[in-house]
Structure 1
């Protein structure tokens, strides 16, 4: 707490990169910082930056959220930055709690170290990086880091997770650590989406059905499977699959090749990264959102879609699916059952489908559980609990 003893909490959010093109994890940091602000607490963001990054996420934050961007230094990998270590050494005492939004980066290690040295409690929001799925990537290197990670986790005030399923699966490398679970806030876009503008821009007739994928182009997103399901479906009416996003150049080129070679290529549009008004238009101009991913520790995009009344079909590995299904706005398909995905595509795209209409009606109520103000109130109570527990533990 502040020195005055007031209930305002000073929170520092740390991430290696806040580049919007990084996808959900960068968006989650900006949303968390805005949530801190909405709760009446003092928020600041600390991240590294290099030339050419898309910084619209932090540029859109309220003016009294402190934004501290420092340069990366050679060799630049893993967010390596001597300036960020210097900044933390000088300023971490200005905060009551440090929230580290990743694990495998230099800024994460530096933030944990200087918080510990200055006796400031810190929590880690891994955003899926401690899930078994992610730990399989570069597994040998991560295994070598296990002793360091165990120490970082052991010294922390806890792990802050975004879904109960993530809590059940998360690896702590043997550290005894408290777990906190809270949904991520998902703000309403400042832009009003226009279905006609979207369809006109991409030459899609107004009466046709549109299935939308919008997100980072990444192997875990299941796009090759989704394209195969779309190819296999026998649609009652003209149906389009729109792929919106960007990713690593080599993999994005692979997906573009799959689209060119697809038997349904005349009805698949790869429109690239969409932001701002174009993003809102895509949600407004579509009929069904799809995220048939191998693993999502949350799933921001299907929640964003609800703001435009857009229901979803999700794999059972999208962790937010439980909440969306309970709210009646999503269908969940086993990630191994491609035939079922084909059936869902065919059924929900039928003219006058009552289930799809009902899902659209429920969207406005379903999205309220992610409303930033509500989440901010819950998260403020959590942060006070984290700080209090950490202080008691040191006595």
Structure 2
């Protein structure tokens, strides 16, 4: 009975009382969790309120679970030492060959890799019948980095989480590549020789490992007068703007040998399609992408744009689009501001944001679900030329 984790969702009966099945399952979970601990009298409480952030004794943890239930989607007890749904059967016997303990942070990195690479099944170490292709090999290498621990005791941090935090530190504090490389070299010296072989040695290797997760950017050349975008195959080879005639590239210095031409101005564009795919690839957000249907059922008050007259008018105008609830509704927003405030040096910055209105209000207004498509930063306001800069975004909308 305990092999079936369906009892986790059957906490109370029709009368609101905790079922005997759930109580028996909680006792089974507590015995399993303590079988994985060594010389500890408390476990991390996985109830919906604590979410494995607090250590509690077995009695308090059992009360919390009966009162609040398990946290969402906690069918594999990875925080408490389980590597797969089959491992729990052997907790009174010998440990599995794959046994390792992942804390909740490690589990998030593990789930992030699975969602990003589009894996449809739980990862395991069974031998494969054939050599994986390049895409699958990238997935297994990155998943391995999310599970291999480094540091004292071998359980301090994983390779992927360490690299992600190191690169995040570079972004937050605007570190140069050379400065970051020195910090990486110093950090690697604190590791054992075995762990040093597991982590990237330089900035290029670190970016190459993280880039497998996707969500990258495109660098698009633009005319110095903001009147033309060199982003398709034909226009990339142009040496001058077909609108104003300005040169595409910086003038060459004849005294030096340059490997390639340097564009006079560029625009960094963040594609939307991979991020929309990620919303449906992640188990945490896919179920919320049709939430706007529930909002329409509540006609008493408007709590979401889906309940507004404009949304209803759009559905009446485009019934084919409205019939599929998984179709994505986006809101585009942009505005300009001066980076230097009231400084004598004017500089205009126009960020372009996209908000996914399929999600409920508590999610669609969070920063992680508001997509930055591009930043238009110029000494002067782009004016009407903003249409030119948005061409790549509009073309992607047409493709979608």
Q: TM-score normalized by structure 2?
A: 0.28
Higher relative contact order (CA 8 A, sep 6+): 1
Which protein has the bigger strand share?
1
Which protein has the bigger helix share?
1
Find the structure with the greater CA-based Rg: 2
